[in-house]
Chains A and B, each alone.
Chain A
Amino acid sequence: MTDIQYVAPSTLDEAVGAYAAAKGAARILAGGTDLLVQMRAGMVKPGLIVDIKKVAELSAIEKTPEGGFRIGAAVSGAVLEEHPTFGKVWPGVLEGLNLIGSTQVQGRASAGGNLCNGSPAADSIPGLVAAGAIATVQGPNGRRNIPVEQVPTGPGKTSLAPGEILVSFTLPPRPAHSSDAYLRMIPRTEMDIAVVGCAVSLTMDGDTCTAARVSLGAVAPTVLLVEDAAKALVLTKLDDASLDKAAAACSAACNPIDDKRGTIAYRTKVAGVLLKRTTAIAAERAKGG
Chain B
Amino acid sequence: MDSVVEDNQLGMMKYGIGQPVTRSEDPKLLRGEGNYTDDVNLDGQAYGVMVRSPYAHGTLNGIDTAEASTAPGVIAILTGADLDAAGLGTMKCGLPLKGRDGSPINYVPRPALATDKVRYVGDPVAIVIAETATQARDAAELVELDIDPLPAVTDARAAAEAGAPQLYDSVSGNTAIDFQYGDTAKVDTAFKEASHQTRLNIRNNRIVVSAMEPRSAVGSFDAASEGYTLNVGCQGVFGMMNTLAKQVFNIEPEKMHVVTGNVGGSFGMKAGAYPEYICVLHAAKVLGRPVKWTDDRSGSFLSDCHGRDHDMTAELALDADGKFTALRITGYGNVGAFLTAVSPMMPTMNTLKNANSVYRLPLIEVASKAVFTNTTPVTAYRGAGRPEANYYMERLIETAAREMGIDAIELRRRNQILPSEIPYAAANGMNYDSGDFPTIMQKAVEASDWDGFAARKAESEKRGKLRGRGVGCYLEVTAPVQEEMGGIRFEENGDVTIITGTLDYGQGHWTPFAQVLHQKLGVPFERIRLIQGDSAELIAGGGTGGSKSIMASGAAILEASDIVIDKGKKIAAHVFETAVEDIVFEGGAFQVAGTDRTVTVTELAEQLRGGLDLPEDLPRDLSVKHIFDAAPSAFPNGCHVCELEVDPDTGVVEIDRYNMVNDFGTVVNPLLVEGQAHGGIVQGLGQALMENAVYDSEGQLQTGSYMDYAVPRASDVPSFTFATHAVPATTNPLGAKGCGEAGCAGSLPSIMNALVDALAPLGVKHIDMPATPEKVWAAIQSAKAA
Q: Which of A1, A42, A192, A265 contacts B710 (CB 8 A)?
A: A192
Interface assignment of B407: CB less than 8 Å from any CB of chain A: no
Which residues of the partner chain A approach B778 to less than 8 Å between Cβ atoms? 263, 265-266
Query: Are B708's CB and A260's CB within 8 A?
Result: yes
Q: Which of A190, A261, A270 contacts B715 (CB 8 A)?
A: A190
Given A1-B137, A260-B708, A266-B778, decide whether A187 and B772 contact each other with a Cβ distance below 8 A: yes
Which residues of the partner chain B approach A104 to less than 8 Å between Cβ atoms? none
Q: Find the residue from B72, B710, B781 having the highest chain A CB count within 10 A.
A: B710
Q: Secondary structure of the A side of the interface?
A: loop
Bound-complex Cα distance A72 to B666 (A): 61
Bound-complex Cα distance A190 to B141 (A): 35
Q: Which of B72, B654, B716, B772 contacts A2 (CB 8 A)?
A: B72
CB distance from A187 to the nearest CB of B (A): 6
Which residue of chain B lies nearest to A259 when distances are taken between CB atoms in the complex?
B702
Size of the A side of the interface (Cβ < 8 Å), in residues, is: 23
Query: Are B650's CB and A1's CB within 8 A?
Result: no
Given A41-B298, A187-B772, A270-B650, decide whether A260 and B710 contact each other with a Cβ distance below 8 A: no
Query: Are B708's CB and A188's CB within 8 A?
Result: no
Which residues of the partner chain B approach A189 to less than 8 Å between Cβ atoms? 652, 654, 715-716
Interface assignment of B694: CB less than 8 Å from any CB of chain A: yes
Which residue of chain A lies nearest to B141 when distances are taken between CB atoms in the complex?
A42
CB distance from B154 to the nearest CB of A (A): 14
**Interfacial residues of chain A within 237-280, with CB under 8 A of chain B in the complex:** 260-263, 265-266, 269-270, 273
Query: Are A185's CB and B708's CB within 8 A?
Result: no
Interface assignment of A146: CB less than 8 Å from any CB of chain B: no
Bound-complex Cα distance A40 to B298 (A): 10
Bound-complex Cα distance A262 to B775 (A): 10
Bound-complex Cα distance A2 to B138 (A): 9
Query: Are B138's CB and A188's CB within 8 A?
Result: no
Interface assignment of A193: CB less than 8 Å from any CB of chain B: yes
Bound-complex Cα distance A269 to B713 (A): 27
Bound-complex Cα distance A273 to B773 (A): 14
Q: Find the residue from A187, A191, A192 having the highest chain B CB count within 10 A.
A: A187
Q: Secondary structure of the B side of the interface?
A: loop
Which residues of the partner chain B approach A192 to less than 8 Å between Cβ atoms? 707, 710
**Interfacial residues of chain B within 757-786, with CB under 8 A of chain A in the complex:** 772-774, 777-778, 781
Q: Find the residue from A42, A185, A195, A265 having the highest chain B CB count within 10 A.
A: A185
Bound-complex Cα distance A127 to B710 (A): 26
**Interfacial residues of chain B within 264-305, with CB under 8 A of chain A in the complex:** 296, 298
Query: Are A190's CB and B713's CB within 8 A?
Result: yes
Bound-complex Cα distance A192 to B690 (A): 12
Bound-complex Cα distance A41 to B704 (A): 12
Given A193-B707, A260-B703, A261-B708, decide whether A187 and B134 contact each other with a Cβ distance below 8 A: no
Which residues of the partner chain B approach A2 to less than 8 Å between Cβ atoms? 72, 134-135, 138
Q: Find the residue from B138, B694, B703 having the highest chain A CB count within 10 A.
A: B138
Which residues of the partner chain A approach B183 to less than 8 Å between Cβ atoms? none
Given A1-B137, A2-B135, decide whether A188 and B716 contact each other with a Cβ distance below 8 A: yes
**Interfacial residues of chain B within 486-506, with CB under 8 A of chain A in the complex:** none
Q: 1/0 contact trace for A160-197 toward B, CB 8 Å?
A: 00000000000000000000000001011111110100
Which residues of the partner chain A approach B650 to less than 8 Å between Cβ atoms? 185, 270, 273
Bound-complex Cα distance A273 to B649 (A): 7
Which residues of the partner chain B approach A260 to less than 8 Å between Cβ atoms? 694, 702-703, 708
Bound-complex Cα distance A111 to B239 (A): 52
Which residues of the partner chain A approach B652 to less than 8 Å between Cβ atoms? 185, 189
Query: Are A266's CB and B774's CB within 8 A?
Result: yes
Bound-complex Cα distance A58 to B514 (A): 58
Q: Find the residue from A188, A189, A191 having the highest chain B CB count within 10 A.
A: A188
Bound-complex Cα distance A193 to B703 (A): 13
Bound-complex Cα distance A192 to B715 (A): 13
Query: Are A187's CB and B138's CB within 8 A?
Result: no
Bound-complex Cα distance A270 to B713 (A): 23
Given A188-B710, A270-B650, decide whether A262 and B774 contact each other with a Cβ distance below 8 A: yes
CB distance from A45 to the nearest CB of B (A): 10
CB distance from A272 to the nearest CB of B (A): 9
Bound-complex Cα distance A255 to B690 (A): 26
**Interfacial residues of chain B within 689-710, with CB under 8 A of chain A in the complex:** 690, 694, 702-703, 707-708, 710
CB distance from B389 to the nearest CB of A (A): 27
Which residues of the partner chain A approach B707 to less than 8 Å between Cβ atoms? 192-193
Which residues of the partner chain A approach B772 to less than 8 Å between Cβ atoms? 187
Which residues of the partner chain A approach B690 to less than 8 Å between Cβ atoms? 187-188
Which residues of the partner chain A approach B141 to less than 8 Å between Cβ atoms? 42
Query: Are B134's CB and A1's CB within 8 A?
Result: yes
Bound-complex Cα distance A40 to B654 (A): 35
Q: Find the residue from A189, A195, A261, A265 having the highest chain B CB count within 10 A.
A: A189
Which residues of the partner chain A approach B703 to less than 8 Å between Cβ atoms? 260
Bound-complex Cα distance A191 to B649 (A): 20
Which residues of the partner chain B approach A269 to less than 8 Å between Cβ atoms? 777
Which residue of chain A lies nearest to B132 when distances are taken between CB atoms in the complex?
A2
Q: 1/0 contact trace for B714-751 toward A, CB 8 Å?
A: 01100000000000000000000000000000000000
CB distance from A5 to the nearest CB of B (A): 16
Which residue of chain A lies nearest to B297 when distances are taken between CB atoms in the complex?
A40
CB distance from A191 to the nearest CB of B (A): 7
**Interfacial residues of chain B within 648-668, with CB under 8 A of chain A in the complex:** 649-652, 654
Which residues of the partner chain B approach A41 to less than 8 Å between Cβ atoms? 298
Which residue of chain B lies nearest to A101 when distances are taken between CB atoms in the complex?
B707
Which residue of chain B lies nearest to A277 when distances are taken between CB atoms in the complex?
B649
Bound-complex Cα distance A196 to B135 (A): 41
Bound-complex Cα distance A278 to B110 (A): 55
Which residues of the partner chain B approach A193 to less than 8 Å between Cβ atoms? 707
Bound-complex Cα distance A185 to B774 (A): 10
Which residues of the partner chain A approach B713 to less than 8 Å between Cβ atoms? 188, 190-191
Given A1-B138, A262-B774, A270-B650, decide whether A187 and B716 contact each other with a Cβ distance below 8 A: no
CB distance from B142 to the nearest CB of A (A): 12
**Interfacial residues of chain B within 624-677, with CB under 8 A of chain A in the complex:** 649-652, 654
Top 4 A-B pairs, shortest CB-CB distance: A190-B715, A273-B649, A188-B710, A266-B774
Q: What are 17 A-B pairs at a CB distance below 8 A? A: A1-B134, A2-B135, A185-B652, A187-B772, A187-B773, A187-B774, A189-B652, A189-B654, A189-B715, A191-B713, A263-B778, A265-B778, A266-B651, A266-B774, A266-B778, A270-B649, A270-B777
User: What is B's interface to A at a CB cutoff of 8 Å?
Assistant: 72, 134-135, 137-138, 141, 296, 298, 649-652, 654, 690, 694, 702-703, 707-708, 710, 713, 715-716, 772-774, 777-778, 781
- Beyond contacts A262-B774, A265-B778: 12 other A-B pairs, Cβ-Cβ < 8 A, are A1-B137, A2-B138, A40-B296, A187-B690, A187-B774, A188-B716, A190-B713, A260-B694, A260-B703, A263-B774, A266-B774, A269-B777
User: What is A's interface to B at a CB cutoff of 8 Å?
Assistant: 1-2, 40-42, 185, 187-193, 195, 260-263, 265-266, 269-270, 273
